Structure 1
Amino acid sequence: MICTPLIKPLQPLVRHTRTPRVWLFDLDNTLHDASHAIFGHINQSMTRAVMQSLDIGEEEASALRKTYWARYGATLIGMVRHHNVKAADFLHLSHDFDIAGNTKIEKNLSAMLNAVPGIKYVVTNAPMHYARIVLDRLNVRHCFAGICSINEMCLQGRFRPKPSPALMQQLLVQLQCEPTRTILVEDTLKNLKTAKLLNMKTVHIFHRGTPFSSTQRMRPAYVDLRVNSVQQLLTHPFALSA
């Protein structure tokens, strides 16, 4: 069982066979449709967390949240760097809602994941407690050997979430995997661009609810495969070939 500073095991009693092929799956709008209900709750909860942490009004908190997300890729980073907010406290506040009840079930996802050759991990900018609840609700936690959540994405004392090249490079080192045999599955193009620069394989799950998706008309050169859902990927020859 792989356990590194970046990767934490999801199922201590499950043993995954080591293979040369490694899958890194994003979570929201990749393994499940977060735009169905989850993202609305996260937006509200995130703004409320900024308000409570800084004792400011909703309008100011909303603007600050969006500024930090655009600048750093995660509101958490701005809150930690500029306001000395404790990361664990903020991650809890920003995802404090009925997660399981708002997670849309994806039919047959567990069976399809298990049918695809290769060892699989979750790599998400979401917090660990949120990711575990979603994976349990989807009934797929047992399909993955481990997870890298934003809780672990800290290098040299600073949070480095996706699309950080340093993060992706460290993941490859700690998993001891060959970049050309490692596949990143994502709904966010900038994360896939970083992966391709490191010679990884890339799969784009196109989702209309993902920010800036309206500009994603064509498949960029750094994307090896573009599909409209994780189910489409898992039944594609790209995934099923060993």
Structure 2
Amino acid sequence: MADDKRQALRQAAEAKVWIFDLDNTLYPAHCNLFDQIDRRMGTFIQNFLGIDAAEARALQKQYFRAHGTTMRGLMTHHGMDPQAFLDFVHDIDLSVLPAAHVLDEALARLPGRKIIFTNGSVRHAERITEHMGIDRHFEAIFDIVASDFVPKPDAGPYRTIVAQHGIDPAQAVMVEDIVRNLEPAAAMGMITVLVRPADAGAGAGAEAPPDYVRHLVHDLPDWLHLVSDTLAAPGQVPGPAPGG
């Protein structure tokens, strides 16, 4: 088992490109940052359509299920300006984000190019990574605008990011907190990493991940340290990461 683990980690360490989701992936889900976004979506819909909070909430979730993002549903059915939506919903308080010293160190040690792939906006990703002090590690942010407002897990944006950034999927790792967003990456040949908090509980989403998920990770900085350690000491089984 130790040999299998070491080999899987080494394969990830030898990847040429790392593709990271943003929300609830690069920062811990317990920050509840997306809850702020979720509430602002509801407020935007109320104001935009002139409906009450209950109606807005129902429509928000209906569009998310049907179109992959609430924004896409509003664009499709109401001709909404997506930029106005993105600007409003991402105007959030980042003070809840913790210091990211361990993640910063882990990204610095990790070989390979690093790109953010998000259903949010470039500005949203920039604000978060700058606040966390990790923006220097990423060469590009591929956002919902770059994907022509088609969200993950539609396969189109995956093909676009690979083409635009010269990525060989067989030499890439994709890191996500939403399991369905990893399926297209796995189909292209990428190593897939699902980030799920250890205290996720026994509810929906806590079941064993599907076969297309290569690694299930509870602490991303700790796991990235383990990946780097396989190159630093390839003959040893990785131990706990610094600060992990």
Q: Same fold (TM over 0.5)?
A: yes
Residues 111 and 228 in structure 2, CA contact (< 8 A), matched pair in contact too: no
Residues 132 and 141 in structure 1, CA contact (< 8 A), matched pair in contact too: yes
Instruction: Write out per-residue CA displacement over residues 142-164 of structure 1, whole angstroms, 9 at most, x where no aligned residue.
Output: 0100101112220xxxx211111
Q: CA deviation at 1:173?
A: 1.4
The structure with the greater share of residues assigned to helix is 2
Give the Cα–Cα distance (whole angstroms) in 2 for the partners of residues 56 and 30 of structure 1. 33
Matched residue SS, 2:181: helix
Comparing 21-30 with 127-136, greater Cα deviation is found at 127-136
1:80 corresponds to which of 39, 56, 75: 75
Give the Cα–Cα distance (whole angstroms) in 1 for the partners of residues 66 and 198 of structure 2. 22
Matched residue SS, 2:88: helix
Written as runs of structure 1 = structure 2, the 5 A alignment for 1:37-186 is: 37-98=32-93, 100-154=94-148, 159-186=149-176
Q: CA deviation at 1:236?
A: 2.1
Q: CA deviation at 1:214?
A: 3.0
| Backbone CA RMSD of aligned residues | 2.2
Give the Cα–Cα distance (whole angstroms) in 2 for the partners of residues 213 and 110 of structure 1. 31
Q: CA deviation at 1:174?
A: 1.4
Residues 208 and 214 in structure 1, CA contact (< 8 A), matched pair in contact too: no
Given the alignment of the two structures, is residue 204 of structure 1 paired with residue 194 of structure 2, yes or no? yes
Over 3 Å counting, the alpha-carbon distance change for 1:176 and 1:239 in structure 2 is farther
TM-score (norm 2): 0.82
Residues 163 and 190 in structure 1, CA contact (< 8 A), matched pair in contact too: yes
Q: Percent identity?
A: 29
Residue equivalent to 1:224: 214
Over 3 Å counting, the alpha-carbon distance change for 1:205 and 1:239 in structure 2 is farther
In the alignment, structure 2 segments of 5+ residues that lack a partner are: 1-13, 233-244
Q: CA deviation at 1:213?
A: 6.7
The number of residues matched between the two structures is 218
Q: CA deviation at 1:240?
A: 5.0
TM-score (norm 1): 0.83
Residues 20 and 175 in structure 2, CA contact (< 8 A), matched pair in contact too: yes
Matched residue SS, 1:231: helix
Residue equivalent to 1:190: 180
In the alignment, structure 1 segments of 5+ residues that lack a partner are: 1-18
Over 3 Å counting, the alpha-carbon distance change for 1:67 and 1:74 in structure 2 is same
